[in-house]
Amino acid sequence: MKVNSSIPDDILKIQKKLCEYEIGSRNYKKYKKILEKHTKRYSMQKRVNSNIKTIETVEKLEKTNK
């Protein structure tokens, strides 16, 4: 049974790997950088999708008002 998670699998895998390393170690810093990049990309995708939905809603409302 698969749980519907709002966090992508790749981010979860990176977080699990990050927990294995000691804070401040070379690998910890490397995985932290990778996690930041993935999180930033994911949040940007969410924002873009949200903006697209808002634009579509506004367009629908303008069409119905005409």
Interval 8-34: pLDDT, tens: 888 899 999 999 999 999 999 999 999
In-domain check, residue 3: no
What range defines the domain where residue 54 resides?
Answer: 9-65
- N- to C-terminal Cα separation, the chain: 48
Q: What's the chain's average pLDDT?
A: 88
In whole angstroms, give the CA distance from residue 57 to residue 43.
21
* Residue 3 pLDDT exceeds 60: no
Domains held by the chain: number: 1
pLDDT at residue 56, as a whole number: 94
* Residue 4 pLDDT exceeds 60: no
Please, are residues 43 and 6 in contact by the beta-carbon 8 Å criterion? no
In-domain check, residue 1: no
Both structure tokens of 47: 């924002």
In-domain check, residue 38: yes
In-domain check, residue 2: no
In-domain check, residue 46: yes
In-domain check, residue 4: no
